[in-house]
Amino acid sequence: MATTTAPADRPVLALARTRPAGGGVRRTTRTHCPYCSLQCGIRLTAGGRPAELEPDDFPTNRGGLCSKGWTAAELLDHPDRLLTPLVRAVTGDRSSALRPATWEEALDRVVAGIRDSQERYGRDAVGCFGGGGMTNEKAYALGKFARVVLRTSAIDYNGRFCMSSAAGALNRAYGVDRGLPFPLADLAEADALMVVGGNPAATMPPAMQHLDAARARGASLVVVDPRRTATAAGATLHLAPVPGTDLALALGMLHVARRDGLVDEAYVAARTTGYASAVAAANGWWPDRVERVTGVPVADLTRAVHLLADAERAVVLSARGAEQHAGGTDTVLGFSNLALALGLPGTPGSGFGTTTGQGNGQGGREHGLKADQLPGYRMLADPAARAHVAAVWGVDPADLPAPGRSAFEMLDALGTDGGVRTLLVLASNVAVSAPDSGRVRARLAALDTLVVADFFLSETAALADVVLPTAQWAEEGGTMTNLEGRVLLRRKALDPPEGVLDDLGILRALADRLGVERGFPTEPEEVFAELRRASAGGKADYSGITYARLDAEQGVFWPCPAPAGDTSDAASHPGTPRMFLDSFPTPDGRARFVRVDFRPRAEQPDRHYPYVLTTGRTTSQYQSGTQTRRVRQLLLTDPDARAELHPDVAARHGVADGDLVRLETRRGTAVFRARLTDGVVRGTVFVPFHWAGLSGANGLTDTRLDPTSRMPEFKACAVRLERAGGPDDLDLRAEPPGPPAGATTGPTTGPTSSPTTGGPR
């Protein structure tokens, strides 16, 4: 691929247009919330200031919204909004201040960093890190940019920290990774449900109406969680295992199912393989042993299995609490084995699934953001997959790089021999979200060049050499793939401020300057048309989906192949709301039991670190908090980070409710405000991971990786605590980084400096 030097005056594409600051024609657009994978429907009214939204009747939310969704429009005109590129005042001096720059200067610095690193250290010295909130079009374009323009193997995304263990398990057991192989609304028709490691009442409140509808019909709800969460509090049965012992619980449940004659023998014989091996592993997990390891009483364990087995229609769901472990893939497989033994997957009204967290965590990995995957969920190591995608891209398959390092492995090698020296980060805040975040920040500091594209100055952007302001969710169109595998159209509702590019525009401008002048369109629909061709015939086949269909329908479920592979026309395939009804996409059409064996966590409590730390989310904050920690209404609900302690543990350390506590692990320390509750297992400390600074939970977490998914051990490590002060001794309400002095920020009050217009593509 040519890498000729672009002329110094090469134009930069201008996507941005001036938005009215006060008046203007207001219009209402049906679109989707920018947060989680429910992708709730909303109606956004914009054109004047400020934009306003209300919920829409979409199948996942049916007119409901959580507090984050209700306040999402506030971000569009937030005073911290970045409207101007920023660069370090002194090139190569990370200690110098960030200052405003033109797009030409900023992009020149990015290209110089890319060229310098690749000339000195090779192609893999430049890396890309994406985010699970990017549209399918942007995820596809970033993956293509890395492999065609940069020709680097170094690309991954923050979805690796979210659903990768579930993905690894689903591929092994069912031959395909789609979080929910059935519509979310099917949950309302179940007679029994089990949620393992999830708290949708806090993290996805609109989804609870489907569970509530099932309970109103008399359905049983079993919740597996070390905390008595809002979801667990309303359950028929709450199982509270010690963090990191979920697999022992799953093995014990399979043991009970076999012992009590609850296995669906006909289903197992007709639709599965590997049962004998999986049961052999479970034979040693008699209920008394499970109770000793997990803390779950024998009676509760037995009752949970019977509730599922006795139901006409039952569903088992796993979520991050069970998956974000160094053994997360095996844990998901353990509960999958239970579901298969009970005959649930592929049976109408029943099933096994996992719930995606990020808005497009599903689509991001399907279309090229993971280090080992190509569009359509094709694997980069597969010669046939390389040939297919290379033909769509117009390159030689031999020019495509090999699979690269996973997210944490790439981050942990930044700035080292053989590691990435220039990193481009889009839509992610790794300085807060990565495990052992202090270590990751040190690696970011070792880079020769760090480039971050964002609409706020996140903690990662504050460390960057170049910061590129980008469009927000309502200012660009594109498709998202939600937790059900439903591809939907997120419609553009207003233009970005003048002087701000969206990510497609940034990637095109960089490709131009790096000598690749074709193949990076800036219109999302044009990108999607190419994505359809690239995905055709793959596991995640989108070839039969068009923007026209999505505009007329409430989304289309993949796989949705075009007739005879013809992507030139609107397809007649209806999509696949419910998978596995006839067979599984495996070579023999059968689902697989997979033998899994429980292994205790590598880091056990001891006299120095006597407790178990686990992390999670709160109702009013999201991910690393880059957005939600800037919304006043959400901060009134969650003003600072709180560590949940059992009263017995608190009394042992002289801690009262509201006191400050210092938590320390083998990786770092952090300070939280204590919340005393008997709703957490004794010996377990829970902290939210949305905060940075003094309360950065991921400065404490373990970096051990799952051998299959490369998921870090986020959910369980050894910790000690001490009282750090009274309620008023320290203000923990750390503000996220603000823009530097002199930077142009929102809300928009008129035109800002605009990039010049590029020619047609």
The three state secondary structure string of 223-282 is: EECCECCHHHHCCCEEECCCCCCHHHHHHHHHHHHHHCCCCCHHHHHHHEECHHHHHHHH
Q: Which of 48-57, 244-253, 501-510, 567-576 shows the lowest mean pLDDT across its residues?
A: 567-576
Say if strands 351-354 and 314-318 run parallel, antiparallel, or are unpaired.
Answer: parallel
* 425 Cβ contact list (under 8 Å, min separation 6): 128, 129, 450, 451, 452, 453, 460, 464
Tokens of 4: 């000729």
Share of the chain above pLDDT 70, in %: 93
Q: Where are the beta strands (DSSP E) in 438-513?
A: 449-454, 466-469, 478-481, 486-490
Q: Which of 117-121, 159-163, 262-266, 501-505 shows the lowest mean pLDDT across its residues?
A: 159-163
Alpha carbon 368 to its chain's center: 14
pLDDT of residue 741: 64
Is the pLDDT score of 15 beyond 90?
no
pLDDT of residue 419: 98
Is the pLDDT score of 607 beyond 50?
yes
**Alpha-carbon gap, residue 223 to 212, rounded angstroms:** 14
Q: Which amino acid, residue 289?
A: R
Kindly give the residue spans of alpha helices, DSSP state H, lying in 98-207: 103-121, 136-144, 164-174, 200-203
Alpha carbon 65 to its chain's center: 20
Coil vs helix vs strand at 564:
helix
Q: How many CB atoms lie within 10 A of CB 25?
A: 8
**Alpha-carbon gap, residue 672 to 662, rounded angstroms:** 7
**Alpha-carbon gap, residue 25 to 49, rounded angstroms:** 11
Q: Which of 237-246, 309-318, 715-724, 745-754 shows the lowest mean pLDDT across its residues?
A: 745-754
**Alpha-carbon gap, residue 480 to 545, rounded angstroms:** 12
* The 220-224 sheet, strands edge to edge: 237-239, 220-224, 192-196, 314-318, 351-354
Instruction: Give the containing element (helix H, strand E) for 591.
Output: strand 591-592
**Alpha-carbon gap, residue 623 to 432, rounded angstroms:** 9
**Alpha-carbon gap, residue 686 to 613, rounded angstroms:** 6
Is the pLDDT score of 757 beyond 90?
no
**Alpha-carbon gap, residue 750 to 24, rounded angstroms:** 12
The single-letter DSSP state of residue 696 is -
State the chain's mean pLDDT as an integer: 92
**Alpha-carbon gap, residue 578 to 572, rounded angstroms:** 17
Residue 744 — very low, low, confident or very high, per pLDDT cuts 50/70/90? Answer: low
Coil vs helix vs strand at 486:
strand
Instruction: Say what the pTM is.
Output: 0.93
**Alpha-carbon gap, residue 468 to 275, rounded angstroms:** 53
Is the pLDDT score of 749 beyond 80?
no
Residue 521 — very low, low, confident or very high, per pLDDT cuts 50/70/90? Answer: very high
Instruction: Please classify residue 649 by burial: count the beta carbons closer than 10 Å to its beta carbon, then call 0-12 exposed, 13-18 middle and 19+ buried.
Output: buried
pLDDT of residue 629: 92
Tokens of 66: 């959580």
Instruction: Please classify residue 204 by burial: count the beta carbons closer than 10 Å to its beta carbon, then call 0-12 exposed, 13-18 middle and 19+ buried.
Output: buried
pLDDT in tens, 192-210: 999 999 999 999 999 999 9
- Report whether 355 contacts 317 (CB < 8 A): yes
- Report whether 456 contacts 470 (CB < 8 A): no
Q: Taking residues 298-308, report their average pLDDT.
A: 98
pLDDT in tens, 691-733: 999 999 999 999 999 999 999 999 999 999 999 998 887 777 6
Question: Which residue would you say has higher pLDDT here, 547 or 361?
Answer: 547
Alpha carbon 142 to its chain's center: 16
Task: Show the CA angle centred on residue 126, arms to residues 124 and 127, nearest 5°.
Answer: 95
CA 430, 431, 433, 438 torsion: positive or negative?
A: positive
pLDDT of residue 154: 98
Q: Taking residues 37-41, report their average pLDDT.
A: 96
**Ordered structural domains, the chain, with CATH:** 27-77 (2.20.25.90), 86-157+362-521 (3.40.50.740), 164-354 (3.40.228.10), 611-725 (2.40.40.20)
Residue 91 — very low, low, confident or very high, per pLDDT cuts 50/70/90? Answer: confident
User: Dihedral through CA 559, CA 321, CA 628, CA 424, nearest 10?
Assistant: -60
* 77 Cβ contact list (under 8 Å, min separation 6): 49, 50, 51, 746, 747, 748
Question: Which of 158, 715, 702, 721 is CA-nearest to residue 436?
Answer: 702
**Alpha-carbon gap, residue 19 to 25, rounded angstroms:** 10
- Report whether 451 contacts 424 (CB < 8 A): yes
What are the backbone angles phi and psi of residue 168, rounded to the nearest 5°? -60, -40
User: Dihedral through CA 293, CA 298, CA 301, CA 302, nearest 10?
Assistant: 150
Instruction: Please classify residue 292 by burial: count the beta carbons closer than 10 Å to its beta carbon, then call 0-12 exposed, 13-18 middle and 19+ buried.
Output: exposed
pLDDT in tens, 393-424: 999 999 999 999 999 999 999 999 999 999 99
Question: Which residue would you say has higher pLDDT here, 459 or 8?
Answer: 459
**Alpha-carbon gap, residue 530 to 540, rounded angstroms:** 14
**Alpha-carbon gap, residue 129 to 120, rounded angstroms:** 21
pLDDT of residue 570: 55
CA distances from 423 to 18, 128, 227, 244 (A): 31, 6, 38, 33
pLDDT of residue 748: 44
Q: How many CB atoms lie within 10 A of CB 116?
A: 16
pLDDT in tens, 466-508: 999 999 999 999 999 999 999 999 999 999 998 899 999 999 9
HSE-CB at 28 with a 13 A cutoff on CA atoms is 8
Exposure string over 383-403, b if 16+ CB within 10 A, otherwise e: eebbebbbebbebeeeebbee
Question: Which of 428, 211, 226 is CA-nearest to residue 317?
Answer: 211
Say if strands 27-32 and 660-664 run parallel, antiparallel, or are unpaired.
Answer: unpaired
Q: Which of 30-34, 120-124, 418-422, 752-756 shows the lowest mean pLDDT across its residues?
A: 752-756
Coil vs helix vs strand at 21:
coil
pLDDT in tens, 142-161: 999 999 999 999 999 999 99
Alpha carbon 185 to its chain's center: 22
- Report whether 713 contacts 702 (CB < 8 A): yes
**Alpha-carbon gap, residue 696 to 624, rounded angstroms:** 9
What are the backbone angles phi and psi of residue 614, rounded to the nearest 5°? -135, 155
Region for 575 from its dihedrals, namely left if φ exceeds 0, alpha if ψ lies in -120 to 50, beta otherwise: left
